[in-house]
Every structure is written in C-alpha cells, then in structure tokens.
Amino acid sequence: MKITDDELIADIIEDGADYIEKNGWFRGDLYQKGRDHRDHSPACMMGGIMAANTMEDGHTRIGLYFIVQRFQEAIPQVQTLAAWNDYVAKDVQEVLDTMRLAAKRIRGAA
C-alpha cells in the first residue's frame, strides 16, 4: 500500500499532538527556552509538528510548507499556526483537539 501525502501529513499532525500530550505544551517559542524535541521539551503546536516531522537521522519526512498549507486548508481559522497557538488557543486541550480535527479533515473523515 502506498501512503499518500495527505495520509502522511495527517499522521504527522496527529503525531505532533501526541508529542505535545506526552511532553507538554508551550507558548512563545517552538520549544521551552534553550531546548528542542530531542530533549522531549514542551512544545507549541508548530514545535510538536516539527518534532513529529523529524526522523531520527535529522531529515524531515515531508516539507513543512505542505503540512502548514494542508492544516490551514483543513482549519481555515488557523492561518498562522504559531500565532494561533500563542494568542488564540485557550489551553492545551483546544490545541490538541484542533490538531486532531485537522488530521481528520485532511484524511477526508470530517
């Protein structure tokens, strides 16, 4: 079975939500100051997606531009992921729910 770009993008967004759920949520930067995903640092929405998109060898699974574009198409009210995370999202649950809804819509399930 060949995985489609949309399936991969949805997987990465869901994996990013899982990363945040496991390691914590952060505002104001991609990761808690002075840290990154290798430290399992708390992350913002974009940081969680970037962590999920990074393979063990440091390469990315797919271009970040494509992930962000599909996310914005799936959830039009989130036009800038970082700004939405930092200034609009009420709490971590809203971030997780929005990420999982985006993945579901990208898969065509919602």
Domain residue spans of the chain:
5-106
- Cβ–Cβ under 8 Å, residues 93 and 24: no
Greatest Cα pair distance in the chain: 41
Q: Is the pLDDT of residue 25 over 90?
A: yes
Average pLDDT on 62-68 reads 95
Q: Is the pLDDT of residue 77 over 90?
A: yes
Average pLDDT on 67-94 reads 96
| 109 pLDDT tier (thresholds 50, 70, 90) | low
Q: Is the pLDDT of residue 1 over 50?
A: no
Residue partners of 39: CB distance under 8 A and separation at least 6: 31
Give the SS3 label for residue 67.
Answer: helix
Q: Point out the least confidently predicted range of 1-10, 56-65, 69-78, 97-106.
A: 1-10
DSSP state at residue 38: G
The whole-number pLDDT of residue 3 equals: 64
Which tokens in the block code for residue 97?
């729910």
Closest by Cα among 94, 93, 59 to 78: 94
